[in-house]
Structure 1
Amino acid sequence: MKITGNKHKIFRNLDIRIVSLVLAVTLWLYASTERYYKLTFHCPVEVRNIPPGYSLARCLPPVICDIEARGKDLVAFQFKNPAVVIDAENRQIKKFKVKLTPDHLVLPFRLKARAVQFLDQEMEINLDRQTEKAVNILLDLVGDPADGLVLSDSIRYEPASALLKGPARQLEMLDAVYSAPIRVDGFSVGTLVRSALMLPDSCLFAVSPGSIDVFLRFEKSGERVFKNIPLSVINRSRDYLVSFAPGTIDLVVSGPRNVLEVAKQSDLKIVLDLKDLPPGKHQLQATIELPDKLVLIAASPRDFEVNIR
């Protein structure tokens, strides 16, 4: 009976106790988040009002700054970073420097900071003439289709080229853009896929259109045996005699049937590299280079005995 009485005392006014605890925690949180704290942020940089016909010459790294603000505001900054905004209006030169001040810092949700200090007090902005040109589109195909199938050479995509816009100097070095990775794992029938185009640097370039339609096609793969393919030797010294055995190799390769049918023995490159080998007997593995679309299944032999004397 005594134990039961103690339990009754413990649970007496339980609802009031819970409410009191919640209020205490709420007051503690409020008091804590109203205090001022200092945290370091890596703030992205945005350049606005770039003069017509110009663009950034290179992407700008984040700016490191210490921000002192109320705790609840610093918590909000974790969801959306403060940003440094630089106004390039009326700038008629390609390179200029900006002395960073708290006015350059834009805080999210219209919050305020008591103090702002930048690690680097000055930032250099480089502009370049903006141009555009047509570039080819290359597909980034990832994975393998269903067993017994390979990607067909008749894959097509529309459009086949895109208009890339960006800083002139960097644009000169670009001739193509890639699609986003297109996975073909397990595919067995023709499929239409829409893929985005990947930008070299999203902060510098724009591409039109932003995506392409890819018509994937598959065909049955085949195998073919190539026998008695001669080997070639590279990096041999003229001061020594070289012999190796055996003198030929047999290969089994697979790939699209139309590629296998036209492949010639001379298209297969089998090489023994003697670079930096001293006189004597050596066991070397041949390097095998196959035409595009063909895959090596087996090689016999793969290792060769080379005698340098």
Structure 2
Amino acid sequence: MTGRWEGLSRSLMRNLPIKILALVLSLSLWYHISRTGNEYLTLTLPVTVSNLPPHLELNRATPDHVTVTLKGPHGMGSLIRPERLTILLDGRHFRPGRTNLPLETGNVALPSGIRVIHFSPPSLSLSILPLGRREIPIVPQFIGETRDRIAPIRIHVVPRQALVEGDRTLLSTISFIKTQPIELKTLSDKSAQTLSLSLVSPDPVRIRILSPRKVTIEIARSSRRR
């Protein structure tokens, strides 16, 4: 038994310097690969537009989020803040209408050494609206019935018009802006009543009411004829 251990010991000690050198080289190679090897990271980022001319508006980006795959050095996750990354589009040359925009690596601002190797989807569909502004009459919206059907009322709206911004084509088709509904049965028996109401956009996606935020509706019962 002792002879067997002595033989094994002599075998291990044979060419010991070469074996130690091989071990050191292996460890060095592993360390180098672990330090210089690439990492991959997949993120889903929102789409944003900058430098859009004031007469244009981004109506819709389809999709509004894009999945990207990043390639970078070992530990790149500590070099970026995913919550601050976006798909950034430069809108200074955008025109009204629909367009398909291929995505490029420059659409994501990343630290040196990290780059985008894949977009999903590889392009976006953009809908750009030409903006216009108009002053449009305000019309109160009533629902239901009054307690006294034969009692006429007089209505005064302050202000009478709203400043509206949005798709120029759609704006040209709008004749009036409605208020929030007024329940006629809730009107009091007072000779005059004042309500503060918000306005209702006919198309919240394409039309914005700039002012006023609210209007005053003065409702007065007309005198009955005797």
TM-score tier by shorter-chain length is 0.5 to 0.7
**Count of equivalent residues:** 162
**Which residue is equivalent to 2:57?**
55
Query: How far apart, in 2, do the equivalents of 1:201 and 1:46 lie?
Result: 22
Is the 1:55–1:204 contact (alpha carbons within 8 Å) kept by the matching residues of 2? no
Letter in 1 for 2:156: R
**Which residue is equivalent to 1:181?**
181
Pairs within 5 Å for 1:161-240: 161-188=161-188, 189=190, 190-207=192-209, 208-218=211-221
Rg: which structure is higher?
Answer: 2
Letter in 1 for 2:125: E
Query: How far apart, in 2, do the equivalents of 1:164 and 1:135 lie?
Result: 7
Is the 2:103–2:124 contact (alpha carbons within 8 Å) kept by the matching residues of 1? yes
Pairs within 5 Å for 1:129-168: 129-145=130-146, 147-149=147-149, 152-168=152-168
Aligned-pair CA distance for 1:84: 7.1
Instruction: Provide the TM-score with structure 2 as the length reference.
Output: 0.52
CA change 1:118–1:134 in 2 (3 A) is: same
Any gaps of 5 or more consecutive residues in structure 2? 1-41, 69-84, 109-117
Instruction: Provide the TM-score with structure 1 as the length reference.
Output: 0.40
Task: Name which of 77, 93, 97 aligns with 1:91.
Answer: 93
Deviations 1:79-113 (A, max 9, x none): xxxx97653432243354334589979xxxxxxxx
Query: How far apart, in 2, do the equivalents of 1:85 and 1:184 lie?
Result: 50
Pairs within 5 Å for 1:19-98: 47-56=49-58, 58-60=59-61, 63=64, 86-95=88-97, 96-98=99-101
3-state SS of paired residue (1:123): strand
Any gaps of 5 or more consecutive residues in structure 1? 1-37, 68-82, 106-116, 221-256, 262-309
Query: How far apart, in 2, do the equivalents of 1:100 and 1:181 lie?
Result: 45
Query: How far apart, in 2, do the equivalents of 1:161 and 1:186 lie?
Result: 25
Deviations 1:224-261 (A, max 9, x none): xxxxxxxxxxxxxxxxxxxxxxxxxxxxxxxxx67xx9
3-state SS of paired residue (2:164): strand
Deviations 1:42-87 (A, max 9, x none): x98654432122224x4456647679xxxxxxxxxxxxxxx97653
CA change 1:48–1:92 in 2 (3 A) is: closer
- Percent identity over the alignment is 17
Query: How far apart, in 2, do the equivalents of 1:44 and 1:200 lie?
Result: 28
CA change 1:47–1:90 in 2 (3 A) is: closer
**Which structure exhibits the higher relative contact order, with contacts defined as CA atoms closer than 8 Å and separated by 6 or more residues?**
2
Query: How far apart, in 2, do the equivalents of 1:216 and 1:195 lie?
Result: 13
Deviations 1:272-296 (A, max 9, x none): xxxxxxxxxxxxxxxxxxxxxxxxx
3-state SS of paired residue (1:212): strand
**Which residue is equivalent to 1:124?**
125
3-state SS of paired residue (1:139): strand
